[in-house]
A = this chain, B = another copy of it.
C-alpha cells in the first residue's frame, strides 16, 4: 500500500459523500438508493475523480472494505432467513421459489451457451439471474400497507427459500469454476461438495445447536431464574452479542473461502444460524450501522467495475438478458402461484422480479475469479439495476388491479 492515511481519508470522505448524496437523490424519486450508489461508482470511475482521488495508484484498501461490506451485508440477509421459518413456508411459496429459480437459471445458461460462451461463464450468468432481492418488494408492500395480503406472505416466504437456493447454486457454480476437471463427474463432485457444505452448516448451526440449547434449557428449567440473572449480569458486564456475531461471521466466511467457496456463503449461513438465537443474542440493530458504513463501498466498487467504454457493444445483449430475467422469473413464480388465481399469480410473479444486490454479488465473484468478462459483468449490473427500477411501479399496478377487481366483483374469476 503506497497511499498515506491522509489520501485514504480523502478517498473515504469523497466516496461516501458521493454515494450517500446519490442514494438520497434516488430515494427522492422513489428508486432504491443502491442504484444511486452504483451510479456514483460509475461516475467516479469515468471522470477526473478517479485519478485525482489517487484511486489509480492503489485500490486495494477500498476493495477490501467493499468485500467486508458485502460479507456483512450477506450476514444481515441471513439474519432475516431463520431456518425455523423455512419449515413454516407453505407449499405454494416453495413452488414459487423453486420454479422462480429453475426458469431463470436454465434460460440464462441456455442463452449464454447458444451465444457461444463457455460453460463456466454460462453457469455464472445463469446463477446471477436466480436470486430475488426481496427488499425492494417488501418496501412497496409496506408502503401500500399490504403486509398481510396472501400474495405478500407468499412473496416473503418464497424469498426466504429463494435465498437459500441461490446460495446453493452459487456454491455449485464457484465449485465448478475453481474445480480442475471439466468432466461431468468432476462437476458433479464439486457440486456435491458445495451442497454438502451448505447443508452441513445449516444442519449444525441452525438445527443441531439451537436444539441442543433448547434441550439444555429444558433440563435446567428449575434453575431458569438463576440463568436469567446471569444473563442480566452478563449484559451489565458489557458482553454484547455483536462481537460474537462478528467473530462467527468472519470465521465462517474465512472457512467457506478456505474450502473453495465464496466467502459470502459462509457469511450468509452464519447469519442464518444467528437468526435462531435472536431471542438471546439480538444483533440485527447493531449490524445496521456497521453496514450503513461499509456496504456503500461495495456498490461504489460495483459501479467502478462497470466498463462504460465497452458497454456500447453489449447494450443489445443487456436488454435481452434483462427481458429474459423479467420474463423467466415472472413465468416461473406465476406458474408456481397459479393455484391462487391469475391476478394473484401476476402480483407474485412481478413481486419476485427485482434482482438487486445478489445477482451483482454473484457476477462480481465471477469477475474476480476471471471466469466472466468485463462486459458480461456490465450486462449483469444493468440487468440488476433495470429489474430493480422496473419492479416497484409494476408491482403497484398489479396490486391495484387485483384489489380493484376484488372490491368490484369479489372473487370474480379467481
Chain A residues engaging chain B, CB cutoff 8 angstroms: 1, 5-6, 8-10, 12-13, 16-17, 20, 24, 27, 33, 58, 60-61, 64, 67-68, 71, 237-240, 242-244, 246-247, 250-251, 253-254, 257-258, 263, 286-290, 292-293
Given contacts A58-B1, A61-B1, A237-B27, contact A246 B293 (CB under 8 A): yes
CB distance from A143 to the nearest CB of B (A): 10
Q: Are B250 and A12 in contact (CB under 8 A)?
A: yes
Q: Is the interface of A mostly helix, strand, loop or mixed?
A: helix
- The residue that A247 contacts in the complex, of B5, B6, B20, with Cβ under 8 A, is B20
A5 touching B289 by the CB < 8 A rule? no
Q: A289 with B254: in contact, given A61-B61, A64-B8, A263-B5 (CB under 8 Å)? A: no
Contacts known (A1-B61, A1-B64, A64-B61); A247 close to B16, Cβ less than 8 A: yes
> In whole angstroms, what is the CA distance A11 to B293 when docked?
21
Least distance between A367 CB and chain B CB atoms (Å):
13
A320, chain B: closest CB distance, angstroms: 33
Q: Could you tell me if A9 and B292 are in contact, using CB atoms closer than 8 angstroms?
A: no
Residue of B with least CB distance to A9: B254
Sorted nearest first, the 6 A-B pairs with minimum C-beta distance are A1-B60, A9-B254, A13-B250, A286-B289, A6-B257, A20-B243
Collect the chain B residues with CB atoms within 8 Å of residue A8's CB: 64
Q: Which residues of B contact A16 (CB under 8 A)?
A: 243, 246-247, 250
**A9 and B242 within 8 A (CB):** no
Q: Are A247 and B17 in contact (CB under 8 A)?
A: yes
Q: Which of B286, B290, B292 contacts A243 (CB 8 A)?
A: B292
Q: In this complex, what residue of B is CB-closest to A33?
A: B238
Residue of B64, B240, B292 near A292 (CB, 8 A) is B240
The interface residues of chain B lying within 8 Å CB-to-CB of A286 are: 288-289, 292
| Bound-state Cα–Cα, A203 to B238, Å | 36
The chain B residue with its CB closest to the CB of A260 is B6
Residues of B within 8 Å of A237, CB to CB, are: 27
- Give which listed residue, B33, B61, B250, contacts A9 with CB less than 8 A: B250
Which chain B positions have C-beta within 8 A of A68? 12
- Give the Cβ gap from A113 to chain B, nearest Cβ, in Å: 30
